[in-house]
Amino acid sequence: MKNLMQSVAILIMGALFAVAPVNAAQFKGTVVDVKDGDTLKVRDQNGVSFYVKLSGVDAPELQQLHGHAAREYLLREIAGHDVDIVFNNIDTSGRVLARIYLNGVDVNRSLLRKGLAWHTIDDRNNVAGSDYKEYASAEVKARKAGKGLWNDGMVAVAPWRYRMIVGL
SS3 state of residue 156: coil
pLDDT single digits (tens) 14-58: 444 444 433 448 999 999 999 999 999 999 999 999 999 999 999
Q: Vertex 84, ends 82 and 85: CA angle to 5°?
A: 120
Whether the predicted pLDDT of 164 surpasses 80: yes
Whether the predicted pLDDT of 147 surpasses 50: yes
In this structure, CATH architecture of domain 2-166? Beta Barrel (2.40)
Say how far apart CA 123 and CA 59 lie, in whole Å. 14
pLDDT single digits (tens) 76-120: 999 999 999 999 889 888 999 999 999 999 999 999 999 999 998
Q: Tell me the residue type at 118.
A: W
Q: How confident is the prediction for the chain on average, in pLDDT?
A: 85
What confidence score (pLDDT) does residue 43 get? Answer: 98
Cβ pair 5, 55 in contact under 8 A = no
Q: Are strands 82-90 and 57-58 parallel, antiparallel or unpaired?
A: unpaired
What confidence score (pLDDT) does residue 129 get? Answer: 67
**Residue positions counted in the chain:** 168
Cβ pair 26, 76 in contact under 8 A = no
What confidence score (pLDDT) does residue 168 get? Answer: 73
Q: Domain boundaries in the chain?
A: 2-166
What confidence score (pLDDT) does residue 126 get? Answer: 60
pLDDT band at 11 (very low <50, low <70, confident <90, very high): very low
What confidence score (pLDDT) does residue 34 get? Answer: 98
